[in-house]
C-alpha cells in the first residue's frame, strides 16, 4: 500500500518532490534562483522527521546567514510540532562555536572562550608587535592580520606555511606568537573558530565518530559559497578517508546555484560542487527549472544577463506566471534625485497599490550608497530598516568621525574623548585613562582639561592627542564644513587606519560619504555658500526638498518657505549653531530617530550580498553605473566582471512582482561629483522586458547640453553644480557672487552688545539667512545669525 499523501508534499512539483523524498544517499540540487531550493531543503527535513527517518538530533543544516537560519527554523516549526531548538541548524560559525563549547577541553580551550572580532584581532596583533619589538614599518600589523586570516582559511598552522625567505620566516614567527597569545588569553578569532573545530574533528577519533554516527543527514544551503576549509569541515562530519578514498557515512544534500556565487573574495570555491560530486560519488543530481518567484519579465532579464557569463554549469529557468509588469528603468540626473524618485515611487505604491512597505527592498552594491537613500526616506518620514549592516550614522567608523567632530566643537565632551582618545591606537592604555579619569574627577573638570596634570609617558601621549585636536580646531576656524571634515579625516588618522585594514574599503567609502552628507546638509539646511543658488523645479519654480512632505506651496519663493533649517537662534544674542554644530545635531537626530520599531512595517535596505536567498514583492536596484556596478575594483581582477554579473543576477532575482533599475548621470563619490556612465549590464537585458521611464523633463533639457553645462561650471563650481542640479533636477545655476552680508566680511572688527569686541572669521549665507563666525576676546568663537544679532562695525 502506498503511504498516505502528506500535506507537506502537496505543493511540490515532480522534481521538488523527488528531491524531498530521496532515499538516503548524497545529492546535489543545482538550480537557479527562486526555484525552491531552500523550500526543498526545509521540506526534506520536515519529511524525514515526520516519517521517522531521522530524529531532530540527527540533522545538521548549514545556511549562510543568521537571518536565513532563523527563517528555516521558523518554517520548520510551522510545518511540524517538533522541538527545533535542539536541532543543529545555523551558520558555519555558529555551528563551530557550538562544537567547540561542547568539546572545549579536547579543543584546548576554556569553556568561556571569547570571540575576537576583526577590530579586536588587530589590536591583539599590534600589542604583540610592540611587545616583541617587531618592525611595524616592514611588517604592517594589518597585513599580518590579513596573512594570518588567509593561512587559517587555507587550514594552515604556522608549521604548515612555506618559508622561502627571511621575511616569510618572520611572518610565520609572528603568526606563531599570535597563536600563543590568543591561547594564553583564551580567545579565538573567526578564522580560528572554523579551523579549530575542523582540527577537533580531524584529530579526535571518538568525537568524530560520534558526530558521524549522529548526523545521519547533513544539509547545506548556498553550497556554491562554501570555501575550502568549510568543505573540509563538512567532510569530517560526513565520513573518513580510507586508503585514499573518501567513504561517507551520513547522507549529504547540497543545494546551490553556481550563478549566485558571490563570495569569491572570501575564498568561496564553486569548484567545491564538482569536488563534492566526485568525492562523494554523488549519483543523484536534481535540477529544478521552474521558478516560482518572479514574473517572466523579471526572469527573462535575469536569464539574459547571466547568459553572458562563460563559466557556468548550465541550467534553465522558466516560469508559468505571465509577463507581469515591465522592468522599469529610470535615469536620474543625480544620486539625490534617484533616491527621491525611489521614495516617491514607494509612497505611491504604498498609497495606491496597497503594497506593504516590508515587501519593498532597496538593494545597492556598496554600503555607502545607503546614506543618500536613508536621508530621502528620513525626510519623507518613511520607516525603513537596514539589514546586514548598520544605518549610516550608526556605523562604527562614522561614529568615530563624529566623535572627532564633536571634540572640535566641544573639547569637554568626555564621551567623544573616550571614544577616540586611543582610536586609531596611540599607545594610550586603560591605565593611563584611569589615571586621567581620577584626575578629572578630583579637579571636577573635563578629561580634556585634566590632561595637563598627568605626567610621564602616559601624560605625553595624552598631551599629544589633545594638542592635535586643539591645533585642528584652530586650523579649521572659518572653513567650510566640507573642509573641516576632510581635514579631520586625515589628521585624526581615521582614513589611513581604515585604508590599511583588511576589510577596510567599505569603511573608507563610508567616511568619504560623510563628506557628501555634509555637502548636502549645507545645501538643504541653508548653510554655506551653496545656499545662495535657488533650486528650481522643471517649470523654473523654486523648490525645496520633498515639497509634498512639507506641504509647501511650490509657487512661494524659496526664502519665504519655512526652512526646516538649523535649530535655535538665541533671540537675545543672535547666537546660533555653527554649521558643524548643526550638522552634528542633524546626524544625532537621524541616527536616533527614524529606525523602524521591531515589527513595524518598514522598507528594507541592504546590500546585494546581504539579500541572498531573500525575496520581496518590489525591488529597487540603484546606482547601476560603471565603477559602482560593476564595481571599479572588479575591473582589474580576473573573473571580476563575471562575479559582478552574478551579483546583479542575485539582485534581479529577488523580485517577485516589480523590479526597478536605476542609474544616475552624476554621483557624489569619494567626496566629488562624478559623471557616471550607465552600467554595461543594461546592454545585456532584453529590451522587450524593459520600460524606460523618462523623467518628466530632462534635467538638463532646457539649457546647454549636459556636457557643456558640466564643463562650463567645471570644478570650481562643483559643489554648487552637483548639489543644486542634482537634488532638484534643475538646470545648473552659475556661481553667484555673494552679496555683501550686512557690510561684513572676514577680518572686520565688530562689537556685540553681550559678547563685546570680536573679529569676523567667516560669513555664510545671505539675507535673512546670513551668519557670521566671530572670534570674541572673552567669549571664544561664536556663530551669529546676522538678522538677529546686532553687530556694529568697529574700525
Helix orientation angle between 505-524 and 579-593, rounded to the nearest 10 degrees: 110
Q: Which of 613, 627, 630, 731 binds Mg ion (CB under 5 A)?
A: 613
- List b or e across 90-110, with b for residues whose CB sees 16 or more CB atoms inside 10 angstroms: bbbbbbbbebbeebbeebebe
Number of residues that bind Mg ion (CB under 5 A): 3
How many C-alpha atoms does 85 have within 13 Å on its Cβ side?
A: 1
Angle at the Cα of 577 from the Cα atoms of 760 and 558, rounded to 5 degrees = 95
Question: What does each C-alpha distance from 708 to 525, 673, 712, 735 come to in angstroms?
Answer: 29, 16, 6, 15
Q: Sign of the C-alpha dihedral, residues 641, 643, 644, 650?
A: positive
Residue 170 designated active-site: no
Q: How far is the CB of 34 from ligand ATP (least distance, A)?
A: 4
Span near ligand ATP by CB under 6 A; candidates 5-13, 326-334, 441-449, 479-487: 5-13
Q: How far is the CB of 173 from ligand ATP (least distance, A)?
A: 44
Q: Quick one: 254 or 591, whose CB is closer to Mg ion?
A: 254
Select which of 38, 63, 319, 358 is catalytic: 38
Span near Mg ion by CB under 5 A; candidates 278-286, 431-439, 458-466, 605-613: 605-613
Distance between first and last Cα of the chain? 108
In the shown chain, the binding pattern of residues 638 to 677 toward ligand ATP, with x for contact by CB under 6 A and - for none, equals ---------------x------------------------
Q: Quick one: 38 or 492, whose CB is closer to ligand ATP?
A: 38
CA 463 to centroid of chain Cα atoms: 35
Q: Which of 292, 387, 682, 751 binds ligand ATP (CB under 6 A)?
A: 292
* Residue 35 binds which entry of ligand ATP, Mg ion, none, CB below 5-8 Å type-dependent: ligand ATP
Distance, in Å, from the CA atom of 652 to the CA atom of 643, rounded to the nearest integer, reads 14
Task: Report yes or no: 292 and 657 within 8 Å, Cβ to Cβ.
Answer: no
Q: Which of 6, 9, 13, 80 binds ligand ATP (CB under 6 A)?
A: 13
Tell me: does residue 316 bind ligand ATP (CB under 6 A): no
Q: How far is the CB of 258 from Mg ion (least distance, A)?
A: 14
> Between the CA atoms of 171, 173, 175 and 181, what dihedral angle is there, to the nearest 10 degrees?
-140
* Residue 727 binds which entry of Mg ion, ligand ATP, none, CB below 5-8 Å type-dependent: none
3-state secondary structure of 785: strand
Q: Quick one: 37 or 365, whose CB is closer to Mg ion?
A: 37
Q: Quick one: 35 or 595, whose CB is closer to Mg ion?
A: 35
Residue 703 designated active-site: no
In the shown chain, the binding pattern of residues 16 to 55 toward ligand ATP, with x for contact by CB under 6 A and - for none, equals x--------------x-xxxxxxx----------------
Q: List the interface residues with ligand ATP, window 560-619 (CB under 6 A).
A: 613, 615
Residue 406 designated active-site: no
Q: How far is the CB of 235 from Mg ion (least distance, A)?
A: 23
How many C-alpha atoms does 476 have within 13 Å on its Cβ side?
A: 26
Q: How far is the CB of 608 from Mg ion (least distance, A)?
A: 15
Question: What does each C-alpha distance from 301 to 291, 292, 655 come to in angstroms?
Answer: 13, 15, 11
Q: List the interface residues with Mg ion, window 1-40 (CB under 5 A).
A: 37-38
Q: Sign of the C-alpha dihedral, residues 337, 343, 345, 347?
A: negative
Distance, in Å, from the CA atom of 595 to the CA atom of 149, rounded to the nearest integer, reads 34
In the shown chain, the binding pattern of residues 386 to 425 toward ligand ATP, with x for contact by CB under 6 A and - for none, equals ----------------------------------------
Q: List the interface residues with ligand ATP, window 431-490 (CB under 6 A).
A: none
Q: How far is the CB of 219 from Mg ion (least distance, A)?
A: 12
DSSP state of 501: S
* Residue 671 binds which entry of ligand ATP, Mg ion, none, CB below 5-8 Å type-dependent: none
Q: Which of 103, 196, 293, 529 binds ligand ATP (CB under 6 A)?
A: 293
Q: How far is the CB of 643 from Mg ion (least distance, A)?
A: 19
Q: Quick one: 197 or 291, whose CB is closer to Mg ion?
A: 291
In the shown chain, the binding pattern of residues 295 to 314 toward Mg ion, with x for contact by CB under 5 A and - for none, equals --------------------
For 358: left if phi > 0, alpha if psi spans -120 to 50, otherwise beta; the answer is alpha
Peptide bond into 8 cis (omega under 30): no
In the shown chain, the binding pattern of residues 725 to 754 toward ligand ATP, with x for contact by CB under 6 A and - for none, equals ------------------------------
3-state secondary structure of 540: coil
Q: Quick one: 230 or 666, whose CB is closer to ligand ATP?
A: 230
Q: Quick one: 529 or 646, whose CB is closer to Mg ion?
A: 646
Distance, in Å, from the CA atom of 378 to the CA atom of 370, rounded to the nearest integer, reads 12
Task: Report yes or no: 194 and 96 within 8 Å, Cβ to Cβ.
Answer: yes
In the shown chain, the binding pattern of residues 608 to 627 toward ligand ATP, with x for contact by CB under 6 A and - for none, equals -----x-x------------
Q: Quick one: 142 or 656, whose CB is closer to ligand ATP?
A: 656
Q: How far is the CB of 294 from ligand ATP (least distance, A)?
A: 9
Q: How far is the CB of 14 from ligand ATP (least distance, A)?
A: 10
Q: Which of 8, 12, 252, 723 binds ligand ATP (CB under 6 A)?
A: 12
Q: Quick one: 153 or 225, whose CB is closer to Mg ion?
A: 225
Backbone φ and ψ for 386, nearest 5 degrees, come out as -105, 125
Q: Quick one: 197 or 611, whose CB is closer to Mg ion?
A: 611
Long-range residue pairs from 567-573, CB within 8 A, at least 24 positions apart, any chain = 569/785, 569/788, 570/788, 571/788, 572/754, 573/752, 573/753, 573/754, 573/755, 573/784, 573/788, 573/789
Q: Residues marked as binding?
A: 31-38
Cell of 753: 552688545
Q: How far is the CB of 288 from ligand ATP (least distance, A)?
A: 7
CB within 8 A of 210, min separation 6: which ones? Answer: none
Residue 576 designated active-site: no
Q: Residues marked as binding for ATP?
A: 31-38
Select which of 221, 259, 335, 338 is catalytic: 221
Q: Which residue is nearest to Mg ion (CB)?
A: 38
Distance, in Å, from the CA atom of 201 to the CA atom of 408, rounded to the nearest integer, reads 54
* Residue 665 binds which entry of ligand ATP, Mg ion, none, CB below 5-8 Å type-dependent: none
What are the helix (H) ranges across 532-609? 547-550, 579-593
Select which of 65, 230, 260, 607 is catalytic: 260
Select which of 16, 37, 530, 643 is catalytic: 37
Q: How far is the CB of 279 from ligand ATP (least distance, A)?
A: 24
Distance, in Å, from the CA atom of 327 to the CA atom of 343, rounded to the nearest integer, reads 17
Q: List the interface residues with ligand ATP, window 213-232 (CB under 6 A).
A: none
Task: Report yes or no: 8 and 280 within 8 Å, Cβ to Cβ.
Answer: no
Residue 260 designated active-site: yes
Cell of 688: 522587450
Pick from 378, 382, 371, 322: nearest CA to 348:
382
Residue 632 designated active-site: no
Select which of 15, 153, 189, 222 is catalytic: 222
Cell of 784: 551669529
Q: Can you list the positions of beta strands (E) in 540-698?
A: 575-576, 603-607, 616-621, 655-669, 672-675, 690-693
β-partners of residue 784 are: 575, 772
Q: Quick one: 319 or 725, whose CB is closer to ligand ATP?
A: 319
The residues annotated with a catalytic role in the active site are 37-38, 221-222, 260, 654
Contact footprint for ligand ATP (CB under 6 A):
11-13, 16, 31, 33-39, 257, 260, 292-293, 613, 615, 653
Contact footprint for Mg ion (CB under 5 A):
37-38, 613
Amino acid at each position: 500500500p502506498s503511504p498516505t499523501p502528506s500535506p507537506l508534499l502537496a505543493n511540490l512539483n515532480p522534481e521538488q518532490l523527488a528531491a524531498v523524498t530521496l532515499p538516503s544517499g548524497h545529492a546535489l540540487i543545482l538550480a537557479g534562483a527562486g526555484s525552491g531550493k531552500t523550500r526543498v531543503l526545509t521540506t526534506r527535513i520536515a519529511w524525514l522527521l515526520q516519517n521517522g527517518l531521522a530524529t531532530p538530533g540527527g540533522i545538521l543544516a548549514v545556511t549562510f546567514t543568521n537571518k536565513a537560519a532563523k527563517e528555516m527554523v521558523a518554517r520548520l516549526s510551522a510545518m511540524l510540532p517538533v522541538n527545533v531548538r535542539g536541532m543543529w541548524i545555523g551558520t558555519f560559525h555558529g555551528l563551530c562555536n557550538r562544537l567547540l563549547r561542547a568539546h572545549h577541553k579536547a579543543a584546548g580551550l576554556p569553556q568561556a572562550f571569547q570571540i575576537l572580532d576583526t577590530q579586536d584581532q588587530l589590536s591583539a596583533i599590534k600589542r604583540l608587535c610592540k611587545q616583541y619589538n617587531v618592525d611595524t614599518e616592514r611588517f604592517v600589523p594589518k597585513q599580518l592580520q590579513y596573512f594570518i586570516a588567509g593561512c587559517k582559511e587555507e587550514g594552515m598552522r604556522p608549521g604548515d606555511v612555506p618559508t622561502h625567505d627571511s621575511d616569510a620566516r618572520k611572518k610565520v614567527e609572528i603568526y606563531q606568537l599570535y597563536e600563543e597569545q590568543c591561547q594564553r588569553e583564551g580567545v579565538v578569532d573567526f578564522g580560528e573558530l572554523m579551523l579549530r573545530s575542523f582540527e577537533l574533528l580531524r584529530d579526535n577519533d571518538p568525537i568524530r565518530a560520534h558526530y558521524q554516527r549522529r548526523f545521519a543527514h547533513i544539509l547545506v544551503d548556498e553550497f556554491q559559497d562554501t570555501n575550502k576549509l568549510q568543505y573540509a569541515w563538512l567532510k569530517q562530519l560526513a565520513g573518513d578517508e580510507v586508503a585514499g578514498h573518501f567513504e561517507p557515512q551520513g547522507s549529504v544534500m547540497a543545494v546551490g546555484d553556481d550563478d549566485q556565487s558571490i563570495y569569491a573574495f572570501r575564498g568561496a570555491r564553486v569548484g567545491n560542487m564538482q569536488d563534492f560530486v566526485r568525492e562523494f560519488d554523488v549519483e543523484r543530481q536534481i535540477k529544478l527549472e521552474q521558478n516560482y518567484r518572479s514574473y517572466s519579465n523579471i526572469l527573462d532579464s535575469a536569464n539574459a544577463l547571466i547568459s553572458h557569463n562563460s563559466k557556468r554549469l548550465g541550467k534553465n529557468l522558466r516560469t508559468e506566471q505571465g509577463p507581469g509588469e515591465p522592468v522599469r528603468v529610470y535615469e536620474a540626473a543625480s544620486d539625490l534625485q534617484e533616491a527621491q524618485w525611489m521614495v516617491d515611487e514607494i509612497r505611491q505604491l504604498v498609497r495606491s497599490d496597497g503594497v506593504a512597505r516590508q515587501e519593498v527592498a532597496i538593494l545597492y552594491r556598496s554600503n555607502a550608497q545607503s546614506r543618500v537613500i536613508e536621508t530621502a526616506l528620513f525626510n519623507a518620514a518613511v520607516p525603513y530598516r537596514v539589514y546586514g549592516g548598520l544605518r549610516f550614522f550608526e556605523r562604527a567608523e562614522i561614529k568615530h568621525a563624529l566623535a572627532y567632530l564633536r571634540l572640535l566643537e566641544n573639547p569637554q565632551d568626555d564621551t567623544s574623548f573616550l571614544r577616540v582618545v586611543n582610536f586609531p591606537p596611540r599607545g594610550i592604555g586603560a591605565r593611563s585613562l584611569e589615571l586621567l579619569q581620577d584626575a578629572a574627577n578630583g579637579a571636577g573638570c573635563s578629561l580634556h582639561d585634566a590632561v595637563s596634570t598627568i605626567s610621564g609617558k602616559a601624560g605625553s601621549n595624552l598631551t599629544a592627542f589633545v594638542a592635535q585636536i586643539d591645533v585642528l580646531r584652530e586650523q579649521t576656524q572659518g572653513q567650510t564644513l566640507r573642509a573641516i571634515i576632510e581635514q579631520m579625516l586625515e589628521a585624526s588618522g581615521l582614513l589611513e587606519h581604515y585604508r590599511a585594514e583588511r576589510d577596510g574599503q567599505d569603511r573608507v567609502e563610508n567616511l568619504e560619504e560623510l563628506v557628501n552628507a555634509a555637502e548636502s546638509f549645507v545645501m538643504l539646511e541653508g548653510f554655506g555658500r551653496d545656499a545662495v543658488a535657488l533650486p528650481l523645479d522643471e517649470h523654473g519654480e523654486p523648490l525645496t526638498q520633498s515639497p509634498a512632505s512639507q506641504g509647501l506651496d511650490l509657487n512661494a519663493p524659496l526664502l519665504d518657505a519655512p526652512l526646516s533649517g538649523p535649530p535655535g537662534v538665541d533671540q537675545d544674542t543672535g547666537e546660533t549653531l555653527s554649521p558643524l554644530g548643526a550638522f552634528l545635531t542633524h546626524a544625532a537626530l537621524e541616527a536616533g530617530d527614524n529606525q523602524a520599531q521591531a515589527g513595524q512595517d518598514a522598507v528594507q535596505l541592504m546590500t546585494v550580498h546581504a539579500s541572498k536567498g531573500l525575496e520581496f514583492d518590489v525591488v529597487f536596484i540603484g546606482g547601476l553605473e560603471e565603477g559602482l556596478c560593476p564595481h571599479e575594483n572588479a575591473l582589474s581582477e580576473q573573473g571580476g566582471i563575471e562575479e559582478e554579473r552574478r551579483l546583479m543576477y542575485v539582485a534581479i532575482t529577488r523580485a517577485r512582482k516589480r523590479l526597478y533599475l536605476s542609474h544616475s548621470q552624476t554621483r557624489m563619490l569619494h567626496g566629488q561629483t562624478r559623471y557616471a556612465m550607465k552600467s554595461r549590464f543594461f546592454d545585456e537585458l532584453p529590451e522587450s522586458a524593459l520600460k524606460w521611464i523618462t523623467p518628466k523633463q530632462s534635467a538638463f533639457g532646457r539649457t546647454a547640453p549636459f556636457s557643456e553645462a558640466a564643463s562650463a561650471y567645471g570644478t570650481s563650481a562643483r559643489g554648487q553644480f552637483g548639489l543644486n542640479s542634482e537634488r532638484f533636477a534643475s538646470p545648473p545655476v552659475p556661481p553667484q557672487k555673494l552679496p555683501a552680508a550686512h557690510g561684513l566680511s572676514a577680518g572686520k572688527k565688530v562689537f556685540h552688545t553681550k559678547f563685546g569686541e570680536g573679529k569676523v572669521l567667516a560669513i555664510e549665507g545671505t539675507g535673512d539667512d546670513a551668519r557670521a563666525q566671530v572670534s570674541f576676546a572673552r567669549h571664544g568663537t561664536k556663530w551669529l545669525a546676522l538678522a538677529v544679532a546686532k553687530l556694529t562695525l568697529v574700525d
